[in-house]
Amino acid sequence: MEFIYDVVIVGGGPGGLCAGLYSARANLKTVLLEKLIPGGEIVNTAWVEDYPGFELIGGPELAKKMEDHARKFGLEIRTENVTEIYSEGNEKVVKTEENTYRAKAVIIATGGTPTKLGIPGELEYAGKGVSYCALCDGAFFKGEVIAVIGGGDSAVEEGTFLTKFGSKVYLIHRRDSFRAQKIIQQRAFANDKIEVIWNTAAEEIMGNGNKVSGVKLKNVQTGETKTLPVGAVFIFIGFVPNSNLFREPVNKDKLGYILTNDRMETNLPGIYAIGDVRAQLCKQVTNAVGDGTTAAVAAGKYIENLKDELTAAKV
């Protein structure tokens, strides 16, 4: 089947839902395509306490409120997996496994995926002490002993950030040196709350069913194992942006994040990128909804300009 819209939004996280709200509210025929359920990563987040207006709200509840609000203004949401995006003249084509969508503008809100360790307990305790975002969840673990797993910039930098909350932070790395920039390492080594455990891999995350209580570690050189009692495990071993849907070359940085200007425009006319898939300083719900607002407004203006050009061409 083939469908015609003014705007197609790919991805149903907070950014995509906010873009859909603004686009539909501007009387643009808008559809949002999401392969799972609306809400993105916050659906897997037990509690959110850093979104304005909600001192503490469950992630799934906040996602549902955002979805309902967007639908109120006429946003259509379909559960479909997008496989390709490309341009045909002034039209943008979005293909899914089931259908083809044509639109004047497309907003990419596909986010990304934190790299998982793939060890027992990781999925079971996600949102119960296992986290992939220090800025999101660090404040939940005030006074706790925290384990941070990884050795790159993110792991060492976020480990240092977590000392604002934790009583102690263990940096656990499977090698004998960090890959992080030297200046970031120096800050960590100078912090009295940080202890580094070298040549060690996490084998299992343990808990009491409700929250994390420890992590089983193995020294990769000696094979010795031990259990480290901790209240939280933060994992920073990589993040992969979902930015590979384009037939045409879209500009990205060296990590694969899509480059945009301040209007969320990519180098492809009529195609916008927002949220975690876009190159920016931090990955937060508030960033994503701000991006979504900007992209929806910019897309509306782009569509108006297209109409003006077509009208002028007919005269």
Reply yes or no on domain 130-235 having CATH 3.30.1300.10. Answer: no
d(CA 315, CA 300): 23
Is 133 a known active-site residue? yes
- 69-72 LR contacts (CB < 8 Å, sep 24+): 69/17, 69/21, 70/17, 70/18, 70/20, 70/21, 70/24, 70/32
Give residue-wise pLDDT tens across range 234-286. 999 999 999 999 999 999 999 999 999 999 999 999 999 999 999 998 889 99
All structural domains of the chain with their residue ranges:
2-114+239-314, 130-235
Q: Give me the catalytic one of 6, 18, 68, 133.
A: 133
Kindly give the pairing relationship between strand 105-108 and strand 7-10: parallel
Are the beta carbons of 2 and 94 closer than 8 angstroms? no
Is 137 a known active-site residue? yes
Are the beta carbons of 168 and 195 closer than 8 angstroms? yes
Residue 161 neighbours by CB under 8 Å, 6+ apart? 134, 135, 138
Q: Which two three-digit tokens encode residue 48?
A: 């959110």
- What is the number of residues in the chain? 315
pLDDT at 100 over 90: yes
- Starting at the earlier edge strand, list the strands of the sheet with 91-96: 2-4, 100-103, 91-96, 82-88
Reply yes or no on domain 2-114+239-314 having CATH 3.50.50.60. Answer: yes
> Mean pLDDT, to the nearest integer, of 83-92?
95
Q: Give me the catalytic one of 6, 18, 136, 291.
A: 136
- pLDDT value of residue 315: 65
pLDDT at 303 over 70: yes
- pLDDT value of residue 282: 86
Average pLDDT, rounded, for the chain: 95
Q: Give me the catalytic one of 6, 137, 276, 291.
A: 137
Residue 76 neighbours by CB under 8 Å, 6+ apart? 30, 31, 32
| Domain 2-114+239-314 matches domain 130-235 at the CATH topology level | yes
